[in-house]
Amino acid sequence: MKQRYYFCIRYLPERADFGLLAGRCISQMHKFIVNNQKAMNKIGVSFPNWESNSVGNTIAFVTEDKELLMGLSFQPYFSLMVQEELFYLSPVSPVPEEAPEVRFVRNQAIGKSFLGSKKRRIKRSVNRAELYGAKRVPEANEERDFDHFHRTPISSGSSGQGFVLHIQKEWMCERALTNFNSYGLATNQDKRGTVPDLRF
């Protein structure tokens, strides 16, 4: 497989909301991808300092295309945060060969288990049932357990609405083909790319 490259952003304030800052960085990458179709599905996100209680104070972006990564690293938001001494931005560097592989997965099923989401889906089901003349709305048994995850708030550039990415970390035995969603994450189904664990 091709050589991969990465750069890291470390959040400098000690008491920062790391999940919020990670969401803002992912939003910038998402905008970059939407405006540059060459980047679609090719940039992965890694959290080098992921812990049980936090996504950690660092986010990394990984891809096989060094020039693409250079373009992402020069986004105005990142430059502003560096200038304000809120971010440290590393140079674009080759991924060390010995780095173990991980997968950061956006698990949308987690979001569906929260009360607000359940209420919205019940309301849609009732509306559909009334539209098609059904006598009753089927009840769903949705009690599920999920492995450890972190919540990262993000805002949609198209709708302006905020939502939450529920992210889980999986340890992998080997590198998988580069294939990520537009937020740089794997999914439970078709996007199954892995990234290096760049713990510093």
Give me the domains of the chain, ranges plus CATH numbers.
5-107+171-196 (3.30.70.2540)
Closest CA to 197 of 16, 52, 8: 8
**Cβ-based burial of 119 (10 A; exposed 0-12, middle 13-18, buried ≥19):** exposed
pLDDT, residue 136, reads 60
pTM above the 0.85 mark? no
Please give the Cα distance from 1 to 175 (Å, whole number): 9
Q: Is the dihedral of CA 173, 179, 182, 187 positive or negative?
A: negative
- pLDDT by position in tens, the chain (length 200): 899 999 999 999 989 999 999 999 999 999 999 999 899 999 999 999 999 999 999 999 999 999 999 999 999 999 999 999 999 999 999 999 999 999 999 998 887 754 454 455 456 666 666 667 766 655 555 555 557 899 999 987 666 678 999 999 999 999 999 999 999 999 998 999 999 999 86
